[in-house]
Structure 1
Amino acid sequence: MADASQTLAALSNRLAEQASALARAVSSPVEAPAYLDLVRRARSADDLAEQVLKLCVQQCRDAGHTWQEIGDLLGVTRQAAFQRFGKPIDPRTGEPMDKTVRMADAAERSIAIVTAVLEGRMEEARRSFNAQVLEAFTDEVRGDALATVAGLVGAFEGFGEGEPFVRRIGDHTVVDIPLRYEAGDMKARVAFDTDEKVAGLFILAPETP
């Protein structure tokens, strides 16, 4: 705990220094080329803030606070908080699970696949499916699913606000994409397997963990 506290204190001091430097920079007259430097400084402060937040969450957990408490504080579900900050153990090996997202283009590919499915370009979409999804995701299944969604929230109007949420869950890379319908919001979820093929494709209520 002492080492974690010292690391947190050191990172917090660095964050304070970078935030102060950024505040001084934006309070002075800025010419066009210098705006890129502001972005660089802000990005660096953001990276440090993320490290500080992770350590604070770790200390909360070490002190006995629940994922529900942490999720409530962050405005997310307890599962979302765990997926972002937790350290799950692989029951197959007893080792910490790798949460590194290695698919650099996961968000872009997911948007392209969801767009193809919504627009009925299934031949294009199926090129990204693994064998199980290729067999299961028939035109009839697609039609039934879209009809169910239309019955809930009406016609599809476009992608919603916010960036796709990409994370590693077990052996899968999972992407959630905000969707906008005439009577409410939904989200598409695309799961990629280790071969970077689509292992699951769903349209869900936005609050679904």
Structure 2
Amino acid sequence: MTEPPMSLAGLAARLTEQASALAESLGNPVAQPAYLNLVRIAQDVDGLAEQVLKLCVQQSRDAGHTWQEIGDLLGVTRQAAFQRFGKPIDPRTGEPMDKTVRMADAAARAIEIAAAVLDGRMDEARKSFNAEVLAAFTDEVRLNGLATVTGLVGAFEDFGEGEPFVRRIGDHTVVDIPLRHEAGEMKARVAFDADEKVAALLILAPETP
């Protein structure tokens, strides 16, 4: 039998307990703290804080606040806020959409594929494409796309700062990867289908939802 979800007050109380335990361990000048235990406690704090944030967002939505207001508060677009905290209903089934990311290696694979495309190693990249992308993503399409991006922000230099952003959107696992060009920032977006094949690969402005 599964336990019912904890209330916001209950989660906040647990978060306070764990944060206090972390502060006590860090502030003890006598005994050297067990560093792996600090990592464990910090991970618990991080997980509890995420649950508290999700419930606070849900209550804000229930109270009538918009995704724009929530996004502004969190420093992201309204679509990014919705993708992180929203509970979309699948029009095919009428059930809440599953947002669980099951590709444990999605970020690493997306970086490898984006690097191969940017470096021109297309034989390597195409091994990960699904049939539709394999047919559409010709060398000409690649070069035309890179020419457009180069005209906007100059040549690609390296991957940018920050971790790849991984989430599930509908039936796809989508990864955004920061890119650094000589005159600006961009991001690569790699979408994997249910078979973990590349269903889309784009270079976008960093503010694109």
The TM-score normalised by the length of structure 2 is 0.95
After TM superposition, the structure 1 = structure 2 runs for residues 105-144 of structure 1, keeping only pairs within 5 Å, are 105-144=105-144
After TM superposition, the structure 1 = structure 2 runs for residues 47-58 of structure 1, keeping only pairs within 5 Å, are 47-58=47-58
**Which residue identity does 2:179 align to in structure 1?**
L
Name the count of aligned residue pairs: 205
The CA RMSD measured in Å over matched residues stands at: 1.3
After superposition, the C-alpha distances for 1:173-203 in whole angstroms (9 at most, x for unaligned) are 0000000111110000000000100000000
After TM superposition, the structure 1 = structure 2 runs for residues 6-155 of structure 1, keeping only pairs within 5 Å, are 7-29=7-29, 31=32, 34-155=34-155
Partner Cα separation in structure 1 for residue 185 and residue 154 of structure 2: 10
SS in 2 for 1:65: coil
Partner Cα separation in structure 2 for residue 37 and residue 123 of structure 1: 46
Deviation at 1:37, TM superposition (A): 1.5
* Aligned equivalent of 1:175: 175
After TM superposition, the structure 1 = structure 2 runs for residues 150-169 of structure 1, keeping only pairs within 5 Å, are 150-169=150-169
Gap regions ≥5 residues in structure 2: none
**Which residue identity does 2:84 align to in structure 1?**
R
**Which residue identity does 2:16 align to in structure 1?**
A
State yes or no: 1:205 paired with 2:193: no
**Which residue identity does 1:82 align to in structure 2?**
F
Amino-acid identity (%):
80
After superposition, the C-alpha distances for 1:126-149 in whole angstroms (9 at most, x for unaligned) are 000000000000000000111111
**Which residue identity does 1:13 align to in structure 2?**
A
The TM-score normalised by the length of structure 1 is 0.95
**Which residue identity does 2:103 align to in structure 1?**
M
**Which residue identity does 1:151 align to in structure 2?**
G
Partner Cα separation in structure 2 for residue 100 and residue 70 of structure 1: 22
